[in-house]
Amino acid sequence: MTTPPPLTERLDGFLVRHRRRVLGGLLLLAVFLRVMVGMELAGGPLLHVHEQNPASDNYFFAQWAQHLADGDWLQRVPLHPMTAWMRRVAGQVMREHPSYPVDLGLAKDTAYDPRSMTVALWDHWLGGPTYFQEPLYPYLVALTRAAFGPDGAFVFAWQLALGVLGLFLVYRLGRALFSETAGVLAAVLGLLYAPLLVHEFTLLRDSLIVLFTLALMTALVAALERGGWRWSLFGALSGLAVLVKVPFVIFLGLALAGAVASRRCRAGDVGRVLAGLAVTLLPAVARNALVGVPWLKFNGSGTSMLAYYHMADSRPYQFSIGPGYADILIKSDGRLLPALREAIQTHASPWGFIRLSLAKVLYSLHGDEVPNNVDVALFRQASGLLRALPLPFWALGVLGAAGTVATRARWRELWPLYLGIAAALPTLVLASFISRYRLPLAAALLPLAGAGAVALLRQAQARRWGVLGVTALLAAPYVAWASRPLRDFGVDSPGGYYRSQGAMALRAGWADFAELNYREALRREPGHGQAHLGLGTALLQQGLVDDALPELRAAADGLTSGEPLLLLGRALLATGRREEGLAALHEAVAREPAGSSVRQQSEQLLSLPGGP
């Protein structure tokens, strides 16, 4: 009696025989998931951050694209955001060094106008008409606006389509480097990892960065295996990738070095890569020459802004601007290496800078999705389907480690995959650990995680419980750390962060966005009175009185002030529940000291005709 082949081999054979159906089903599921999530988000605030939040990168990309679409396709004039923190830094420079703009030749004397000088200073630090960030994404958004109008939905449509293409590339990488089963499982893991989908619904370039990460790895594998024109394709894709984010040049350089060292790339192939690179970079180089900026400078923000990620008071995650940053801008004149040198010198010793950099790498493996311009947690609040996608980042880490161990003997074949993973780290070290900067790392891990899932399945089939037990034991400390919520958000707690964001949204009149923040605050800290009060206020501002009543009652139970009772009384009176409303107002008066505004408003309502 013959022994049947192992389950993994049978599964692999089945998937190969039914490749088109399985792959087609996966891609159709990816499309369906995106359509359904889009329907859940439609009408909510998250698809309009680029319209309503001037402090966000999303907003600036929309403004930049509109400027291009309006006719200045070469962007001859300086164009960059002017956020509150940028105004604050420029204001500090002018207060502490009033003659600095005069020394730069930006003013004749110190009687300059501070508002206009703020813009002039940042124009100087950011390189004048140098692109603020890499130009490919804003040009794509501008072309979309020129063709279809300013509605962000048209941009989201092609981002979602490219997201489906990215899942296909994940499958191709897993299949090419490991097996059919590994490729399918890698694509399934990509479907279950919500942040990849979330960022396709934002006016940010991060989903495009993910696509180019996967495309470059796929193109490199193909070029190494079959050579020829595929090296030209790899070079062309590398040029486009650099125009999305300059650090892709690290991947290109290491890829060429590895290919030459392994003797799988000849001099003619290197020439093909460089030719493809030159073709795709040529339009941007020509534009730079026409407007008079350095030919190969595609990002003006990095030279001056990267410094604040490396100062002694910088955090491994979250965005913060220390008071010493203004002096760094003055001393470095906005130049990259001098700015970094000045930032490093703010540490008591070189070890402080090294420790900060190592902490960024460590936190990049954490399970939390740290918000910046886009918040995965808020998207989960707005979409039940996103809440149902269960895969945390730490699971990718565990499966990726299992895949690395299981395939360690094949590292000479798999180095393009390891290169893609390693090339995602420089951005995290140069900046900080936030969810959108980590997306390329998550995407590059997917094929290896698929291989890890296959390896664990084989161990289970072979009943190697000891090996699985050791694996679980080794993974347990990492999972325990990575699944613990991060604490330092610049406020008292993660819940406090969302309460602060909700309060800012309420002050801006953005009630539906405030609602999402307060709901997330309550998810993290159930029963918090201030969060219930904020949520009730946000619901009242949207006219959702019935939904607001239980929140205001919970706030009244959790707080000692009369404010929630005042709002509750007003809401009850508005719904015709007079006796309950008057009782709430009486209690508000009883809680508040004489002369308080809440007490005065409550007494005024009680004194109206028809009162008690």
* Mean local confidence (pLDDT), 37-46: 96
**Average pLDDT of 136-162?**
97
CA angle 503–505–508, rounded 5-degree value: 115
Condensed to tens digits (0 to 9), the pLDDT of residues 273-325 reads: 999 999 999 999 999 999 999 999 999 998 888 898 999 988 888 777 888 99
pLDDT(380) > 50: yes
Residue-wise pLDDT for 382-404, tens only, equals 999 999 999 999 999 999 999 99
412, 414, 415, 419 alpha-carbon torsion, rounded to 10°: -170
How many other C-beta atoms can be found within 10 angstroms of the C-beta atom of residue 600? Answer: 13
Answer whether residue 612 shows pLDDT above 50: no
Average pLDDT over residues 64-90: 94
pLDDT of 2 over the 60 cut: no
Give the number of other Cβ atoms within 10 Å of residue 270's Cβ: 15
Q: What is the pLDDT of residue 135?
A: 97
pLDDT value, residue 488 = 65
Q: Which residues contact 49 (CB under 8 A, 6 or more apart)?
A: 56, 58, 59, 202, 203, 373, 374
Q: How far apart are CA 587 and CA 590, in angstroms?
A: 5
Tell whether the model's pLDDT for residue 491 goes beyond 60. no
Is the pLDDT assigned to residue 4 strictly greater than 90?
Answer: no
Rg (CA), the chain: 28
Determine the average pLDDT of the residues in 96-125.
Answer: 95
Contact 563, 579 (CB under 8 A): no
| The model's pTM | 0.94
Residue 534 has pLDDT above 50, yes or no: yes
Average pLDDT over residues 133-144: 98
The HSE-up count of residue 460 (CA atoms within 13 Å, CB side) is 9
Highest mean pLDDT pick, 191-200, 254-263, 315-324, 584-593: 191-200
Please report the pLDDT score of residue 606 as a whole number: 86
- 3 confidence band (pLDDT: 50, 70, 90): low
What average pLDDT does this structure show over 365-370?
93
Q: Is 127 left (phi over 0), alpha (psi -120 to 50) or beta?
A: left
* Structural contact between residues 442 and 166, judged by C-beta atoms closer than 8 angstroms: no
Tell me which residue of 303, 370, 366 sits closest to 333, measured CA to CA. Answer: 303
| Contact (Cβ atoms closer than 8 angstroms) between residue 415 and residue 258 | yes
Average pLDDT, the chain: 93
Nearest-angstrom CA–CA distance, 608 and 612: 9
